[in-house]
């Protein structure tokens, strides 16, 4: 089975970049990324792409118009394709059965129904969205119930984290076809094939394990602050054990991003449905600890500022959920900002890549506030860190952008109200240098003394 044309439903964070790489690596395949959102597709076809990722611009510019196309013509995309990726969003349900935990599969279902309606030839359909275990069955049921004569479907699960093609035995040819696409740039030995349910569960499991590591180290950051240990030293030491490993042990203000929380909640819901309450409670704790970490950090900011931030100017440095992206979904900066706004603070926000409208949306939408106008008046978005911090009582660093390490903190100190506070939620700044300048500094997982050495034992947490 030779793949000549690929169509992807969903031009989001997964569909856009994944298909751009396929187009780059497989010049003999024509890739069309379709979305029902005209605005999204226009952005993909413009100079300014809707997603920032290092290197993505170059790849898109190289392939767009040659073998990579972005289109709202979903019917044409589906009809022409040999292989269709479903890469639509699967948000946590906000109402109804499973509210707050289960994945909402309405977009997956609508994508499957579109394929069933429009396809006129055989298709390999690849579920690329992260879905609950057994979601492939839903797609299969919809397609099989609506199959037109002469049209056959093979359904594979290929979650985003690896080139991992999977299928039932009768779909082996389809698996080989998908593997062939990936083998253009991934060594065959790195392409795993599993049964569909293992594939779906592996994706949830991988994200749950990664998030669990962060919650584990974040739990220890609280112990460090209470005892005088340094969480970075602890992480370095335990990470030396090759069975544990050094990666994903960075204590922080909490994990964000569109996947971790959603996928763990999904796993929890699955466990509840399978009547496995102990397993559900185990994974729930990873989410609860993450909430605790965000709350703990924000409470520390407020308490340090004499327990009132009302009308105080606070600079928020970084709004994306991690560096090198403009993505704000589940960003811890949203929780921190919301809480400070509720307490009456005036926020001056700077992020190198997040769009101004996106920040306003995250802080004023109906899910987070009933007073969007009041909130709007209390936010100012800046285009440099220096203008955001001028006249501020405190700086709250929420994202680990490299450029924050290069700032001239003497200049910043001189421009701030005194006493001047810095809360480093990502442990990236030179705390000793900041203390020497005169800042009151607090970070995650380490007690700092204001004037003395940061190694001083038994020193009190500032203020």
Active site residues: 259
Least distance in Å: CB of 258 to ligand NAD?
Answer: 5
Instruction: Give the residue among 4, 6, 12 at the shortest CA–CA distance from 125.
Output: 6
Residues near ligand NAD, by CB under 6 A: 9-15, 34-37, 40, 74, 87-90, 107, 110-111, 114, 129-130, 160, 258-259
Least distance in Å: CB of 328 to ligand UDX?
Answer: 11
The dihedral built from the CA positions of residue 74, 79, 84 and 90, taken in this order, carries a sign that is positive
Among ligand UDX, ligand NAD, none, what does residue 249 contact (CB within 5–8 Å per kind)?
Answer: ligand UDX
Find out whether 434 and 449 touch, Cβ atoms under 8 Å.
no
Instruction: Give the residue among 405, 411, 413, 412 at the shortest CA–CA distance from 438.
Output: 413
Per rule CB under 6 A, is residue 335 in the interface with ligand UDX?
Answer: no
Per rule CB under 6 A, is residue 200 in the interface with ligand UDX?
Answer: no
Q: Which is nearer to ligand UDX, 118 or 210 (CB)?
A: 210
Q: Which is nearer to ligand UDX, 18 or 196 (CB)?
A: 18
Q: Which is nearer to ligand UDX, 262 or 431 (CB)?
A: 262
Among ligand NAD, ligand UDX, none, what does residue 321 contact (CB within 5–8 Å per kind)?
Answer: ligand UDX
| Residue recorded with tokens 């970070």 | 443
Least distance in Å: CB of 27 to ligand UDX?
Answer: 26
Among ligand NAD, ligand UDX, none, what does residue 164 contact (CB within 5–8 Å per kind)?
Answer: none
Pairwise CA distance, residues 86 & 143, whole Å: 13
Pairwise CA distance, residues 354 & 51, whole Å: 10
Instruction: Give the residue among 208, 268, 10 at the shortest CA–CA distance from 127.
Output: 10
Per rule CB under 6 A, is residue 214 in the interface with ligand UDX?
Answer: yes
Least distance in Å: CB of 444 to ligand UDX?
Answer: 9
Q: Which is nearer to ligand UDX, 74 or 259 (CB)?
A: 259
Per rule CB under 6 A, is residue 12 in the interface with ligand UDX?
Answer: no
Among ligand NAD, ligand UDX, none, what does residue 14 contact (CB within 5–8 Å per kind)?
Answer: ligand NAD
Pairwise CA distance, residues 395 & 386, whole Å: 11
CA distances from 405 to 112, 248, 319, 408 (A): 47, 20, 16, 9
Among ligand UDX, ligand NAD, none, what does residue 250 contact (CB within 5–8 Å per kind)?
Answer: ligand UDX
Q: Which is nearer to ligand NAD, 15 or 256 (CB)?
A: 15
Q: Which is nearer to ligand UDX, 171 or 254 (CB)?
A: 254
Residues that bind ligand UDX (rule: CB under 6 A) add up to a total of 16
Pairwise CA distance, residues 451 & 440, whole Å: 9
CA distances from 188 to 64, 193, 325, 380 (A): 27, 11, 30, 51
Site pattern 242..281 for ligand UDX (x: CB under 6 A) = ------xxx-x--xxx-xx---------------------
Instruction: Give the residue among 134, 201, 132, 139 at the shortest CA–CA distance from 164.
Output: 201
Phi, psi of 157 (to 5 degrees): -110, 125
Find out whether 115 and 81 touch, Cβ atoms under 8 Å.
no
What's the chain's length in residues? Answer: 463
Q: Please, which residues bridge with residue 157 across strands? A: 127
Among ligand UDX, ligand NAD, none, what does residue 354 contact (CB within 5–8 Å per kind)?
Answer: none
Instruction: Give the residue among 249, 160, 264 at the shortest CA–CA distance from 207.
Output: 264
Q: Which of 210, 368, 407, 437 binds ligand UDX (CB under 6 A)?
A: 210
Least distance in Å: CB of 403 to ligand NAD?
Answer: 23
Pairwise CA distance, residues 244 & 315, whole Å: 37
Least distance in Å: CB of 253 to ligand NAD?
Answer: 19
Q: Which is nearer to ligand UDX, 114 or 363 (CB)?
A: 363
Q: Which is nearer to ligand NAD, 201 or 396 (CB)?
A: 201
- DSSP at 152: -
Report the residue closest to ligand NAD, judged by CB.
Answer: 12
Report the residue closest to ligand UDX, judged by CB.
Answer: 257
Relative to beta strand 421-424, strand 394-397 is parallel
Pairwise CA distance, residues 131 & 201, whole Å: 9
Which residues in 91-169 belong to E strands, given as ranges?
123-127, 153-157
Among ligand UDX, ligand NAD, none, what does residue 168 contact (CB within 5–8 Å per kind)?
Answer: none
Least distance in Å: CB of 218 to ligand UDX?
Answer: 7
Instruction: Give the residue among 39, 33, 38 at the shortest CA–CA distance from 5.
Output: 33
Write out the residues near ligand UDX by the rule CB under 6 A: 160-161, 207, 210, 214, 248-250, 252, 255-257, 259-260, 321-322
């Amino acid at each position: 089975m030779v793949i000549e044309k690929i169509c992807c439903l969903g031009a989001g964070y997964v569909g856009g970049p994944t298909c751009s790489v396929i187009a780059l690596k497989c010049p003999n395949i024509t890739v069309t990324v379709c979305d029902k959102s005209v605005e999204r597709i226009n952005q993909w076809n413009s100079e300014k792409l809707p997603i920032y990722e290092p290197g993505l611009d170059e790849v898109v510019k190289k392939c767009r118009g040659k073998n990579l196309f972005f289109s709202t013509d979903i019917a044409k995309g589906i009809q022409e394709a040999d292989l269709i990726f479903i890469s639509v969003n699967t948000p946590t349900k906000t109402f109804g059965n499973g509210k707050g935990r289960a994945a909402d599969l309405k977009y997956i279902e609508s994508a499957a129904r579109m394929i069933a309606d429009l396809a006129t030839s055989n298709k390999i359909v690849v579920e690329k969205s992260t879905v609950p275990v057994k979601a492939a069955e839903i797609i299969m049921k919809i397609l099989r119930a609506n199959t037109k004569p002469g049209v056959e479907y093979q359904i594979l699960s290929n979650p985003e984290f690896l080139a991992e093609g999977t299928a039932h035995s009768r779909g082996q040819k389809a698996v080989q076809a998908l593997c062939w696409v990936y083998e253009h740039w991934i060594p065959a030995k790195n392409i795993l094939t599993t049964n569909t349910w293992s594939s779906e569960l592996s994706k949830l499991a991988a994200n749950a394990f990664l998030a669990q590591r962060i919650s584990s180290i974040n739990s220890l950051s609280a112990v460090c602050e209470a005892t005088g240990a340094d969480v970075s030293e602890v992480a370095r030491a335990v990470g030396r054990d090759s069975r544990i490993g050094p990666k994903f042990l960075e204590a922080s203000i909490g994990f964000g991003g569109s996947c971790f929380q959603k996928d763990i909640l999904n796993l929890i819901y699955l466990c509840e449905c399978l009547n496995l309450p102990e397993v559900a409670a185990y994974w729930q704790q990873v989410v609860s600890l993450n909430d605790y970490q965000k709350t703990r950090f924000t409470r520390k900011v407020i308490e340090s500022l004499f327990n009132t931030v009302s009308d105080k100017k606070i600079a928020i440095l970084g709004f994306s959920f991690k560096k090198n992206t403009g993505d704000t979904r589940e960003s811890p900066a949203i929780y921190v900002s919301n809480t400070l706004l509720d307490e009456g603070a005036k926020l001056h926000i700077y992020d190198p890549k997040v769009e101004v409208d996106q920040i306003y949306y995250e802080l004023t939408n109906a899910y987070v506030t009933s007073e969007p106008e009041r909130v709007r008046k209390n936010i100012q978005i800046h285009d440099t860190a220096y203008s955001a911090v001028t006249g501020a009582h405190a700086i709250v660093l929420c994202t680990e952008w490299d450029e924050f390490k290069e700032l001239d903190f003497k200049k910043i100190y001189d421009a701030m109200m005194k006493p001047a506070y810095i809360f480093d939620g990502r442990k990236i700044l030179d705390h000793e240098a900041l203390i020497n300048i005169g800042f009151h500094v607090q970070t995650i997982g380490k007690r700092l003394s204001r004037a003395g050495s940061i190694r001083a034992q038994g020193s009190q947490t500032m203020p």
